[in-house]
C-alpha cells in the first residue's frame, strides 16, 4: 500500500464547521436562518438514507430543514405543485428534489421548475448550461461534482494541464465533473460503456474520477503509478459476514489500486461526505442570495 488516503470525512467535517460558523454569524446579525426543503418521491431505500443524512447535517449546521415526502404514485402535477409552493416560500432558500424520481415522472420538467436561485443541487438546465459555457458562472454547482473538485484541489496544486479521465457521463456526476475539470484547464477525457481500450485510456490519467456505478471495476493495471484516484462509486455487494448482509464498495478495486496510486479516496468516507458538506455550503449561499433581494 503506497497511496495517501484522502480522508473525505474529515475534510467534509471541516467544511460543515465553517458553514456552521457562518450560519451562527449571520443569525447573530439578524439575518434569516437558512432553510433547505427536500422532496422525496417514493420509497427508494438509498434515497431515504441520503435524505435523512441531509436533514441531520442541516440540524448540525444550524440550518432549518423541511422534509416533504410524496408517495411513489404521486402525479407529475402533485410534484410540480409542491416545487412551485416551495419556490414561493420565503423560509425555504434551497430546494432539493432527490433523484431518481419514480419512473413515469418527468424529471426534466420538475428540475426546470425549481427557481434557479433555490437550485442548491445545481441541476436546473440554466445552471448546468452556464457550467458548460466559457465566461458564464452557474449560481450553484452540483454537490457531488463540487465535492470531488474540492478533494482534488486538496492534493493537486495545479490542475491546469493535467490529464484527467472521468469514467461515467451521468447528469449528476460524470458530466458536471468533466465540465468542472475543463474549467480548471485540465485535459479531459470522458469514458463510457462504448469507449474502446478502456484500460489504456484510463492509464493516461494523472487524475482519475470513477463514477460509473460498477463495483470494483477499475483494476491496479488500469492506473498510472502516482495518479490521484477519486472514487465516486457507491455499490452494494453481498457480504454474509456484515450485519446488513451487504457492504459498500466503490468503482475502484481499492486494495490493489492503492498499491500504485499516489492518492486515493476510500468508500465509504471519501466523496460521499463531501456531497453533503457541499449541499450545506450551497444552502448557505442560497440564503445569502436571498439576502440581496
Ligand atoms: N441522487 C444521487 N445523488 C444526488 C444528488 O446529489 N442530489 C439529488 N437531488 N439526488 C441525487
211 lines ligand 1 (CB under 6 A): no
In this structure, the answer to whether residues 171 and 109 fall within a common structural domain is no
128 falls within a domain: no
99 CA → ligand 1 middle, Å: 5
265 lines ligand 1 (CB under 6 A): no
CA pair distance 49, 102, nearest whole angstrom: 16
- Count structural domains, the chain: 2
The residue count of the chain comes to 293
> How many separate helices (H) and strands (E) can be counted in the chain?
10, 11
Examine residue 268 and say whether the peptide bond preceding it is cis (omega within 30 degrees of 0).
yes
In this structure, the answer to whether residues 235 and 181 fall within a common structural domain is yes
* Model confidence at 1: pLDDT above 70: no
282 lines ligand 1 (CB under 6 A): no
- 98 is annotated as an active-site residue: yes
Residue that has been written with the C-alpha cell 458548460 in this structure = 132
Report helix, strand and coil shares of the chain as percent, to nearest 5.
40, 15, 40
- 121 is annotated as an active-site residue: yes
In this structure, the answer to whether residues 159 and 264 fall within a common structural domain is yes
Give pLDDT tens digits for 109-161.
999 999 999 999 999 999 999 999 999 999 999 999 999 999 999 999 999 99
Q: Which of 167, 129, 180 is nearest to 250 (CA)?
A: 167
Displacement of CA 132 from its chain's centroid (Å): 17
13 falls within a domain: no
Is 0.95 topped by the overall pTM? yes
- 77 is annotated as an active-site residue: no
Give pLDDT tens digits for 49-98.
999 999 999 999 999 999 999 999 999 999 999 999 999 999 999 999 99
Amino acid at each position: 500500500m503506497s497511496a495517501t488516503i484522502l480522508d473525505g470525512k474529515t475534510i467534509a467535517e471541516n467544511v460543515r464547521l465553517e458553514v456552521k460558523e457562518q450560519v451562527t454569524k449571520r443569525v447573530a446579525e439578524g439575518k434569516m436562518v437558512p432553510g433547505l426543503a427536500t422532496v422525496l418521491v417514493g420509497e427508494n431505500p438509498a434515497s431515504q438514507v441520503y435524505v435523512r443524512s441531509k436533514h441531520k447535517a442541516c440540524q448540525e449546521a444550524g440550518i432549518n430543514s423541511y422534509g416533504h415526502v410524496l408517495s411513489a404514485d404521486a402525479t407529475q402535477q402533485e410534484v410540480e405543485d409542491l416545487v412551485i409552493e416551495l419556490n414561493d416560500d420565503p423560509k425555504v432558500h434551497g430546494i432539493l428534489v432527490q433523484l431518481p424520481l419514480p419512473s413515469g415522472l418527468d424529471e426534466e420538467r420538475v428540475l426546470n421548475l425549481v427557481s434557479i436561485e433555490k437550485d442548491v443541487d445545481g441541476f436546473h438546465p440554466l445552471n448546468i448550461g452556464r457550467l458548460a459555457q466559457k465566461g458564464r458562472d452557474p449560481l450553484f454547482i452540483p454537490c457531488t461534482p463540487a465535492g470531488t473538485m474540492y478533494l482534488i484541489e486538496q492534493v493537486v496544486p495545479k490542475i491546469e494541464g493535467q490529464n484527467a479521465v472521468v469514467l461515467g457521463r451521468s447528469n449528476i456526476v460524470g458530466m458536471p465533473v468533466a465540465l468542472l475539470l475543463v474549467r480548471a484547464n485540465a485535459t479531459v477525457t470522458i469514458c463510457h460503456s462504448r469507449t474502446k481500450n478502456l484500460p489504456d485510456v484510463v492509464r493516461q490519467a494523472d487524475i482519475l474520477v470513477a463514477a460509473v456505478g460498477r463495483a470494483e471495476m477499475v483494476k491496479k493495471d488500469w492506473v498510472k503509478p502516482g495518479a490521484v484516484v477519486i472514487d465516486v462509486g457507491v455499490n452494494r455487494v453481498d457480504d454474509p459476514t456484515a450485519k446488513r448482509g451487504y457492504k459498500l464498495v466503490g468503482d475502484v478495486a481499492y486494495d490493489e489500486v492503492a498499491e500504485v496510486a499516489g492518492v486515493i479516496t476510500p468508500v465509504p468516507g471519501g466523496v460521499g461526505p463531501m456531497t453533503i458538506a457541499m449541499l450545506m455550503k450551497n444552502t448557505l449561499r442560497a440564503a445569502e442570495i436571498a439576502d440581496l433581494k
